[in-house]
Chain A
Amino acid sequence: MSWSPGWVRGHWTALFRTVALCLLGMAVLFPIYWMLVIAITPTGFSRSLPSIFPQTVTWQNFTSLFADRPMARWLVNSIVVATLASFLSLVFGTSCGYVLSKLKFRGAGLIMIGVLVTQMMPGTSIIVPLYILFRDVGLLDTMSGMVVGHISLVIPIAIWMSKGFFDRVPPDLEASARIDGCTRLGAYFHVSLPLALPGLAAIFIYGFVTSWHDFLFAHSLVHSQQLWTAANGITSFRGQYFTLHELQMAAALVFALPVIIVFVVMQRWIVSGAMTGSVR
């Protein structure tokens, strides 16, 4: 073994990189670990933890969530709203994205810019007019109103993302399908849509996560507790004078699970190289 300066420098660099990555990993994962520690600490004891390791482990907080609080109801509401909002955004977004990508017409660029402009306004600036609009059309404090609200959050990005994915489908493929016996719609379903599947999975995940995590719309457009989403429900553990940290952390853990499941299920569709071999 040679102890040349280059060898020593290389090993020091590798060591430094490993230590830095470990520290970064710990910094990123510590809040999740701390959330877990508090979630399994008996109610009322999280403010006086003697160490960063749990002393007493209890699942009482989790059972209490579902037995004493309507956590299951909130989760179902979140799942229904997020699934519907992301699915409908996907359907409308991909249709618009496809048209803007494949059919050349005057004003297409302007429409794209118009769609993008809607994203430039923060949610807080549109929530009051949206509230008044929803109140006037009877969508306030309804599940469908919340779905519509979340669609308005997701659809602009869905249009932009799907246009990008459809742009990558070579025009010759659809032309070929049309010659091979497809109608224009048939070419869309048989060729363009399957090839844009990785993109559609990404759009669905984006839509689901956006809707799942939304608090502003969920809190402003819905008042009835039975219509609360989980994001709204978690805040109910925090009072003006007293916060149930242990329950709140247990709820936050449960709240994170569906998103992880959706991501794990959908991510297998997100593969690179779907177009390889189609054209030169």
Chain B
Amino acid sequence: MSDPLAKASSDALGVQFSDVSKRYDRHMVLRDINIDIGDRELIVFVGPSGCGKSTLLRMLAGLEETTSGTIRIKGKPVNDDPPRERDIAMVFQSYALYPHMTVGQNIAFPLRMVGEGREQQRAKVENTARLLGLTDYLDRYPRHLSGGQRQRVAMGRAIVRDPAVFLFDEPLSNLDAALRVQMREEILALHRQIPATMIYVTHDQVEAMTLADRIVVLSDGEVQQIGTPHEIYNTPQSRFVAEFVGSPKINILPAKAEARGRHSTRVTLSPDCVFDADFDLPDGSGLIDVGVRPEALTTGEGALRLSGTVSHGEYLGATKYVYADVSLLADSKPCRLVVAVPPEAAVQTGQAVTIGFDPAQCHFFAADGSRL
């Protein structure tokens, strides 16, 4: 007999992936995916190209078959349901507008397919067009619109049906940088206005960080971490997540580690830079990776210091990134660090520099990439 409590909790979920896997012939592209997405949550799947994030979205949409596991929408298993019966709407990376239909006909298409009356269709299309600023373009064809307008039409076609779940498959990747920022704001505004679950796929970590209530980081067909943008950035559960999120990338330094007792490990970055950190080292001793974000490093000050030589600098207006080569362990190659410094900091190429940091802001990763 089913557990009524479990039923109630699954009903509160917008979407649930339970042990979902996908295999193409012999190639496993998604492995044991378990994600619970809350009702009205905006969740972002992020990961490098080929990690399986779009496949996962297309499986949810019903465009790809699920090899094993269960996908539920509003608590109802949908594995065997065709796309039209899943109460979803999707915005594609390519816009996927119907070129033989006007903007108005494009937006009305989903309503026409469910047999909505003409008057209701017109009212809903007009409302949607007003919401997206498309009122003046209803009689135009997609070929007469700019990229941003086309993307709005695609969003209009999605929201006009009032679905339970919105799927966005890299919808902004074809737009220029300024328009991307604008459309991001519009998607956020839409999320505030429309109380529906939204699942957004992107490879752009900035989009993920700015849009998401929670982020799912995927790599090689596996979920690496699920968490709020703050959790993902500040407590990455693997070296991959730490490196994937953040620009410039987190600095990864090789170090020797030796267990000192319960929750205490001595970390040696260089002969002059040794400190104790509060994590357990299961193997007792060995090589680990230390991750430090560029903004956690300073030039000159800090509880711990490393010596290096400035390679070059990048001035970005609000900040400046200094790239410095530091020598660490005797048997390791020189390591290049990125340090975020104030834009007015005077740093010359070739100059000797002392880089300071606080061990409390370091992340420690075992050789297999897992967080220590």
CB-contact partner of A277 in B82, B92, B141, B174, under 8 A: B141
**Is the pair A277, B97 in contact by a Cβ cutoff of 8 Å?**
yes
**Is the pair B157, A180 in contact by a Cβ cutoff of 8 Å?**
yes
The winner among B98, B142, B157 for most chain A CB atoms within 10 A is: B98
Q: Chain B 218-255 against A: per-residue CB contact (8 Å), 1 yes, 0 no?
A: 00000000000000000000000000000000000000
Q: Shortest CB–CB separation between residue B138 and chain A, in angstroms?
A: 15
Q: A176-B90, A277-B141 are in contact. Are A170 and B96 (CB under 8 A)?
A: yes
**Is the pair B95, A179 in contact by a Cβ cutoff of 8 Å?**
no
The winner among B84, B143, B145 for most chain A CB atoms within 10 A is: B84
**Is the pair B84, A278 in contact by a Cβ cutoff of 8 Å?**
no
Stretch at the interface among A54-62, A77-85, A155-163, A268-276: A268-276
Stretch at the interface among B109-117, B191-199, B328-336: B109-117
Q: A277-B141, A277-B150 are in contact. Are A179 and B99 (CB under 8 A)?
A: no
CB-contact partner of A179 in B88, B98, B147, under 8 A: B88
**Is the pair B110, A279 in contact by a Cβ cutoff of 8 Å?**
no
Stretch at the interface among A136-144, A181-189, A213-221: A181-189
Q: Shortest CB–CB separation between residue B141 and chain A, in angstroms?
A: 6
**Is the pair B99, A180 in contact by a Cβ cutoff of 8 Å?**
no
Q: A172-B92, A275-B99 are in contact. Are A180 and B144 (CB under 8 A)?
A: no
Q: Shortest CB–CB separation between residue B151 and chain A, in angstroms?
A: 10
Q: A180-B157, A280-B174 are in contact. Are A172 and B143 (CB under 8 A)?
A: no
Q: A176-B90, A179-B90 are in contact. Are A186 and B113 (CB under 8 A)?
A: yes
CB-contact partner of B100 in A172, A180, A181, A274, under 8 A: A274
Let me know if A194 is at the binding interface, CB within 8 A.
yes
Let me know if A254 is at the binding interface, CB within 8 A.
no
Report, as a range, how many residues of chain A touch the other chain. 20 to 34
**Is the pair B110, A181 in contact by a Cβ cutoff of 8 Å?**
yes
Let me know if B359 is at the binding interface, CB within 8 A.
no
B-side contacts of A278, CB under 8 Å: 94-99, 142
The winner among A181, A195, A276 for most chain B CB atoms within 10 A is: A181
**Is the pair A181, B84 in contact by a Cβ cutoff of 8 Å?**
yes
The A5-36 residues at the B interface (CB cut-off 8 A) are none
The A164-208 residues at the B interface (CB cut-off 8 A) are 170, 172-173, 175-183, 186, 190-191, 194-195
- Docked Cα-Cα span, A170 to B93, in Å, equals 12
A-side contacts of B93, CB under 8 Å: 172, 280
B-side contacts of A276, CB under 8 Å: 99, 142-143
Q: A277-B150, A279-B94 are in contact. Are A178 and B99 (CB under 8 A)?
A: no
The winner among A172, A179, A182 for most chain B CB atoms within 10 A is: A179
- Docked Cα-Cα span, A175 to B169, in Å, equals 12
The B67-124 residues at the A interface (CB cut-off 8 A) are 82-84, 86, 88-90, 92-100, 109-110, 113-114
Query: Taking CB as reference atom, which chain B residue is nearest A170?
Result: B94
Query: Taking CB as reference atom, which chain B residue is nearest A197?
Result: B100
**Is the pair B84, A179 in contact by a Cβ cutoff of 8 Å?**
yes
- Docked Cα-Cα span, A149 to B224, in Å, equals 62
A-side contacts of B345, CB under 8 Å: none
The A139-153 residues at the B interface (CB cut-off 8 A) are none
B-side contacts of A181, CB under 8 Å: 84, 109-110, 113-114
The A95-112 residues at the B interface (CB cut-off 8 A) are none
CB-contact partner of A172 in B82, B94, B113, B144, under 8 A: B94
Query: Taking CB as reference atom, which chain B residue is nearest A274?
Result: B99
Let me know if B212 is at the binding interface, CB within 8 A.
no
A-side contacts of B161, CB under 8 Å: 180
Q: Shortest CB–CB separation between residue B163 and chain A, in angstroms?
A: 9
**Is the pair B94, A175 in contact by a Cβ cutoff of 8 Å?**
no
Query: Taking CB as reference atom, which chain A residue is nearest B114?
Result: A181
- Docked Cα-Cα span, A67 to B113, in Å, equals 55
**Is the pair A173, B98 in contact by a Cβ cutoff of 8 Å?**
yes
Q: Shortest CB–CB separation between residue A197 and chain B, in angstroms?
A: 8
- Docked Cα-Cα span, A280 to B62, in Å, equals 23
B-side contacts of A173, CB under 8 Å: 96, 98
B-side contacts of A172, CB under 8 Å: 92-94, 96
Let me know if B61 is at the binding interface, CB within 8 A.
yes
Let me know if B206 is at the binding interface, CB within 8 A.
no
Query: Taking CB as reference atom, which chain B residue is nearest A169?
Result: B99
Let me know if B188 is at the binding interface, CB within 8 A.
no
CB-contact partner of B83 in A179, A195, A274, A279, under 8 A: A179
CB-contact partner of B113 in A170, A180, A280, under 8 A: A180
- Docked Cα-Cα span, A175 to B100, in Å, equals 16
**Is the pair A178, B94 in contact by a Cβ cutoff of 8 Å?**
no
Q: Shortest CB–CB separation between residue A261 and chain B, in angstroms?
A: 26
**Is the pair A195, B100 in contact by a Cβ cutoff of 8 Å?**
yes
Which residues of A does B touch, CB under 8 Å? Answer: 170, 172-173, 175-183, 186, 190-191, 194-195, 273-280
Can you name 9 A-B residue pairings with CB atoms under 8 Å?
A: A173-B98, A176-B90, A176-B98, A177-B98, A178-B63, A179-B84, A190-B109, A274-B99, A280-B147
Known: A179-B63, A277-B150, A278-B96. 10 other contacts (CB 8 A): A175-B90, A177-B98, A178-B63, A179-B61, A179-B88, A180-B89, A181-B113, A182-B113, A276-B142, A277-B143
Minimum-distance CB pairs A-B, first 4? A181-B113, A277-B143, A277-B142, A279-B94
